[in-house]
Amino acid sequence: MKNNNENYKLRLAIQKSGRLHDDSMRLLKECGIDISNGVNKLKADATNFPIEVFFLRDDDIPQYVEDGVADIGFVGENVVFEKNKKVEIEEKLGFGKCRLSMAVQRNEVYENAYFLQNKKIATSYPVIVSNFLKTKGIEAEIHEISGSVEIAPGIGLADAICDLVSSGSTLFMNGLKEVEVIFESQAVLIKNNLLNEVQQQLLQRLIFRIQSVKKAKNNKYILLNAPNNKLDEIIGLLPGMKSPTVLPLATEGWSSVHSVLNENDFWNIIEQLKAAGAEGILVVPIEKMII
Q: Is the dihedral of CA 60, 66, 68, 71 positive or negative?
A: positive
For residue 194, how far is the Cα from the chain centroid? 25
pLDDT of the residue at 6: 66
pLDDT of the residue at 39: 61
List the chain residues with pLDDT less than 50.
1
Alpha-helix runs per DSSP H in 154-265: 169-173, 197-217, 231-236
Please provide the average confidence, as pLDDT, over all residues in the chain. 91
pTM for the structure as a whole: 0.82
- Cα distances (angstroms) measured from residue 214 to each of 30, 187, 204, 286, 290: 10, 13, 15, 10, 10
pLDDT of the residue at 262: 84
The Cα–Cα gap between 216 and 139 comes to 46
The Cα–Cα gap between 259 and 68 comes to 44
Amino acid at the residue 162? C
pLDDT of the residue at 1: 47
In 3D space, the residue among 115, 114, 74 whose CA is nearest the CA of residue 93 turns out to be: 74
Domains defined for the chain, CATH in brackets: 5-96+186-216 (3.40.190.10), 98-182 (3.40.190.10), 219-285 (3.30.70.120)
